[in-house]
Structure 1
Amino acid sequence: MQRILQYLDRVENIALVWTILSLALIGFVQVIARYVFNYSFTWYEELGRYLGVFIAFLGASIGVKTGSHFTMDLVVSKMGQPLQGLVKGLTNILSALFFFTVAWYSWKIVLRMHGYETTSPTMEIPMYIAYLPIPVFSIVIGIRFVAKAVEFLRGLNQEAIR
């Protein structure tokens, strides 16, 4: 499991850097083209939207990994240590189940879009490609939540042994 998570870390970091760099570069070229050459690329807004969705889901996965998402833990912080680990573990399991469900239903939508053979308006790429980050990153986020649940429950088990 640790190897899979390390591999995901590397892939996520590389994808995030290259996606943000390419979005910034394309935005810079768009601004130069518009104000210097009085020309505008019609596909830029659409590509920016798709890359924004990609970055949002990628960032959500990284946020789960680092624990940087906000939590409402007023009640949990008042519990004893073993119970805190149990509640956090169960919360992560429920979150993983939620994201696996999102992945399942969004995959069904991707398959439906593939069957319709629709394309995007300006870039004319198949729409299922634009929808693909949703199930892919939902699975990755689910895996991250499972890893967090295992981490909390393992800590609970270590405390029970002491």
Structure 2
Amino acid sequence: MSKFDKALTAIEETVNGALLLSATLLLFINVILRYVFTSSTTWAEEAIRYAIVWVTFFGASLCARNKMHVGIDIFIQMAPPLIKKCLLAFAQLTAAFFTAFITYFGWVSTELVIETAQKSPAMLMPMWIVYISMPLGSALMTIRFVAAAVAILRDKTTGAEVKNEDAVDISRL
């Protein structure tokens, strides 16, 4: 799983990095064109918007990998070690179920866009290229959440050692 994880992370980071860099450069060039040369491109805003859509879904997968998604963990913090472990695994599996649901319906939406041959207004790009980001990003998140749940469940400790470094310890408030 380590090689697979490294390859997946490399793909996610490369796509996110390239799209963020491209969107930033395109925005910078468009601002220069608009304010210095009083002439801007008609398609730049659309391209940036679609790049950000891709970054959102692939970035969400990276967040799932790094356990950076928002969660309410007051019960987890207060639970005994074994229950804590079960709750953490349950939370990951619930997130995996939700993202699998989004993957399925994202794919259904993408198929509809492919069948209707929709194109973007300014660039005349096939809209399925934008829509496919949802099922792809959600599928990656599903993989990440399932892997996290498996890692929690395979951990041979009783759950006492399960740490959440970024959590606020409510017993100290």
Q: Report the TM-score, using the length of structure 1 for normalisation.
A: 0.93
The 5 A counterparts of 1:55-94 are 55-94=55-94
Moved over 2 A (4+): none
Partner of 1:36: 36
Give, in whole Å, the separation in 1 of the partners of 2:130 and 2:69: 25
1:108-156 deviations in Å (ceiling 9; x for gaps): 110111010111100101111111100000000000000110111112x
**In structure 2, what is the Cα distance between the partners aligned to 1:97 and 1:4?**
21
Counterpart position of 1:136: 136
TM-superposed CA distance for 1:3, in Å, is: 2.0
1:52 Cα deviation from its structure 2 partner = 1.0
**Aligned: 1:114 with 2:114:** yes
Q: What does residue 52 of structure 1 align with? A: 52
Q: Does 1:124 align with 2:124?
A: yes
2:95–2:145 Cα contact (<8 Å) kept: yes
Report the Cα offset of residue 40 of structure 1: 1.2
- Measured in 2, the distance between the counterparts of 1:13 and 1:101 equals 24
Structure 2 CA distance for aligned equivalents of residues 16 and 118 of structure 1 = 25
Structure 1 letter corresponding to 2:13:
N
Q: Could you say which residue in structure 1 is the equivalent of 2:18?
A: 18
Between Structure 1 and Structure 2, which shows a larger proportion of helix residues? Answer: 1
RMSD, aligned α-carbons: 1.1
Q: Distance in 2 between matches of 1:9 and 1:130?
A: 21
Aligned residues: percent identity?
Answer: 30
* Residue aligned with 2:157, SS: helix
Aligned residues of 2:64 and 2:144 also touching (Cα < 8 A): yes
Residue number in structure 1 paired with 2:99: 99
Q: Aligned pair count?
A: 158
Structure 1 unpaired stretches of 5+: none
Distance, in Å, in 1 between the alignment partners of 2:117 and 2:69 is 37
Of stretches 65-74 and 117-126 in structure 1, the one that deviates more from structure 2 is 65-74
Gaps of 5+ in 2: 159-173
Residue 6 (structure 1) aligned with residue 6 (structure 2)? yes
Residue type at the aligned position of 1:53 = V
Which amino acid letter does the alignment assign opposite residue 27 of structure 1?
L
